[in-house]
Amino acid sequence: KNQVEQSPQSLIILEGKNCTLQCNYTVSPFSNLRWYKQDTGRGPVSLTIMTFSENTKSNGRYTATLDADTKQSSLHITASQLSDSASYICVVGSRTGGSYIPTFGRGTSLIVHP
Amino acid sequence: DAGVTQSPTHLIKTRGQQVTLRCSPKSGHDTVSWYQQALGQGPQFIFQYYEEEERQRGNFPDRFSGHQFPNYSSELNVNALLLGDSALYLCASSLGSTETQYFGPGTRLLVL
């Protein structure tokens, strides 16, 4: 069964600090890995996407890494802002029968305090 | 260029009732996927529609059914509602079998 596990479940940091979120997966066959940001009550918005051959991808203050050998990914947020408070979801995609099916993690809830 | 839209935004139903949720995909997209997101959980894949047919289905009972129309919009129907069906229902659209999905704002369903 394809699974995506994220840690920590929740995180509280002070504005301006850095943080790193973790994602471990068992998805086969692997197609890509995305990190999404989801504000409360809204749909997820894609931050980064990485394929098997990519091991790092940046989007402004967000930097994602991928280790396809250990099946681990991380999302590093630099100089956090209050607007970074949200749920961050790791999604691993798989292709089956010509269709693309994503498996979602439960997300890490990040709260940034002033 | 309108993104993915969903209606209604909120809905309250009682156990045993039936509900229909609607989704209009992003302009140019022809594939619609539906997800259920319980509070504090990640989205769970329900099913995906392409060319008016269900192409893939997640681990959801037959009470969950859908439809895609010729204009690519889609409906999610849930029969015999249970308390556990209370969740945020997300619709995502994409083009064919491409992997970039755009999510709508969701419909929050509360079953009493």
Q: Which residue of A has its CA nearest to B101?
A: A46
Task: Output the average pLDDT for chain B.
Answer: 93
Q: Is B21 within 8 Å of B81 (Cβ atoms)?
A: no
pLDDT for position A110: 97
Per-residue model confidence as pLDDT tens digits over B56-73 = 888 899 999 999 999 999
pLDDT for position A91: 94
- Least confident among A100-104, B12-16, B86-90: A100-104
- CA quadruple A26, A99, B106, A45: dihedral sign: positive
Distance from CA of A10 to the nearest CA of B (A): 10
For the cut 90, the answer to whether the pLDDT of residue A99 exceeds it is: no
Which residues of chain A have a Cβ shorter than 8 Å from any chain B Cβ? 4, 31-32, 41-46, 49, 89, 93, 95-107, 109
Q: Is A80 within 8 Å of A30 (Cβ atoms)?
A: no
The answer to whether B40 contacts A96, with C-beta atoms less than 8 Å apart, is: no
Q: How far is CA A11 from the centre of its chain?
A: 14
Mode of pairing for the β-strands spanning B10-13 and B107-111: parallel
Q: What residue type is assigned to position B24 of the chain?
A: S
CB atoms within 10 A of CB A110: 21
Cα angle B47, B52, B58 (rounded to 5 degrees) comes to 10
For the record, the structure tokens of B25 come out as 């995909």
For the record, the structure tokens of B81 come out as 């509602």
Per-residue model confidence as pLDDT tens digits over A18-68 = 999 999 999 988 989 999 999 988 889 999 999 888 999 999 999 999 999
Per-residue model confidence as pLDDT tens digits over A66-87 = 999 999 999 999 999 999 999 9
Q: Which residue of A has its CA nearest to B54?
A: A99
pLDDT for position A97: 72
Per-residue model confidence as pLDDT tens digits over B73-106 = 999 999 999 999 999 999 999 887 666 789 999 9
The answer to whether B42 contacts A97, with C-beta atoms less than 8 Å apart, is: no
The answer to whether B44 contacts A45, with C-beta atoms less than 8 Å apart, is: no
pLDDT band at B25 (very low <50, low <70, confident <90, very high): very high
Question: Among residues A108, A42, A104, which one has the least CA distance to residue A74?
Answer: A108
